Amino acid sequence: MVTNAHTRIKYQIKPFTLLYTHTSPDPIPDFLSSHAASIRAVVSVGRLPITAEFISNLPSLEIVVCASVGVDHVDFDECRRRGVVVTNAGDAYGEDVADLAVVLLISVLRRISALDRYIRSGQWTRLWDYPFGFKLNKKKVGIVELGSIGSLVAKRLDPFGCIISYDSRSPKPDVPYFYHPDILSLAADNDVLILSCSLTDETHNIVNREVMETLGKNGVIINIGRGELIDEKEMVNCLVEGVIWGVGLDVFDNEPEVPEELFGLENVVLSPHSAGMTAESLNNVTEVTLSNLKAFFLDQPLIFPIELD
C-alpha cells in the first residue's frame, strides 16, 4: 500500500506493507514503477493529483482511499475504466469544518481580525474610535448546494436567528429552509453566501462576478469548500471596488499561493485550508481511512464509497 504523505497513523497495520512516497529519494514515477506489481491500494493524504498517468504506473491498483472529503484531485474516468474503487473521509471533518465556517462569518461581520490588528498596532487611543461591524442575528444566509457540511453550518446558525436558504438541483423535502433553484436567485435573496459544496465541472467558478454583483455591496462570502468555486481574480476586484463587503476564506485557487491584494484589506479574513485540522478530526480520519482499507481487503462494505458514475 502506498501513501503520499505522513498520515499520523499510530496503529500497527499488520496486514499491510506501507510505502511512503514523501520519504523516497526517487521521483514519484520511478518510485511507483519500482513497486508497481505489489501496490493494490493508494492512500491519498493531501492533494497529490491521482491522474491517469499516476494510475497507469500501478497495474495492480484496486482502491484509492482519500483522507479528504474532496476528491476532485482523482481522475474518476481512469478509475472507472480500470475498475479502481474510490473512497473519501465522509463526515470525519464535518463538525470542525462547519465550526470554522461560522467562525469566519462572525470574524468578517464583527471585523475581529481588523480589530485585533488595530489594537496590536497601538491605534486605540480613545473609546469608540474603531470601525464598527455588523450583527449576525437575522442575517439572511444562503448555503450553496446544501449537503452534509452545509447542513451542519445551518444547524449552527439557527440559534443565532439567521434566516437560512439554499440552492441545489432539486428541493430537499426534509429540509426546513427556503429553496432557490439557482445561485443567482440565492444571491439576490441573501446577505451571505456560504460555499461548502464539492468542486466539479458544474461548480467551478460558480461564484463569478455576476453572482457577486447580485449579492451586493453589503454581501459576504465564506468559502470552506475549494478555492476554485470562486473566480478569485474577480473576487479581488469586487472587494477592491466595493461590489461586495467582505469574504472569509479557508481555501484558495492555487494553494499555498494567496493573492497579495487580499493582505491589505480589512474586510477579509484568511485561514490556510485548516478547517478540518483539529486533533479530533485527524483521529477521525485515521479511523475512517483504516476502516475503509480493512473493509476492502476483507471484502466487506466500504465506509464511504464514492459513486464514479
| 260 within 8 A of 232, measured Cβ to Cβ | no
Q: Which amino acid is at 139?
A: K
Active-site residue, selected from the candidate residues 202, 210, 241, 255: 255
Active-site hit among 82, 213, 273, 287: 273
110 in catalytic set: no
Q: What dihedral angle (degrees, nearest 10) is formed by the CA atoms of 30, 32, 33, 35?
A: 120
CA distance 160 to 63: 43
Query: Does the annotation mark 260 as catalytic?
Result: no
Q: How many CA atoms lie within 13 A of 1 on its CB side?
A: 24
Active site residue 257: no
Residue 130 neighbours by CB under 8 Å, 6+ apart: 115, 118, 123, 124
φ/ψ of 277, rounded to 5, equals -90, 75
Report the 10 Å Cβ neighbour count for 276.
24
Catalytic hit among 226, 228, 232, 234: 226
* 27 CB-contact burial (10 Å; exposed 0-12 / middle 13-18 / buried 19+): exposed
Please state whether beta strands 85-87 and 63-66 pair in parallel, antiparallel, or not at all (unpaired).
parallel
Which residue in 100, 196, 206 sits closest to 148, CA to CA?
Answer: 196
- For the chain, give the number of residues: 309
What is the sign of the dihedral through the CA atoms of 42, 47, 48 and 51?
Answer: positive
Active site residues: 226, 255, 273
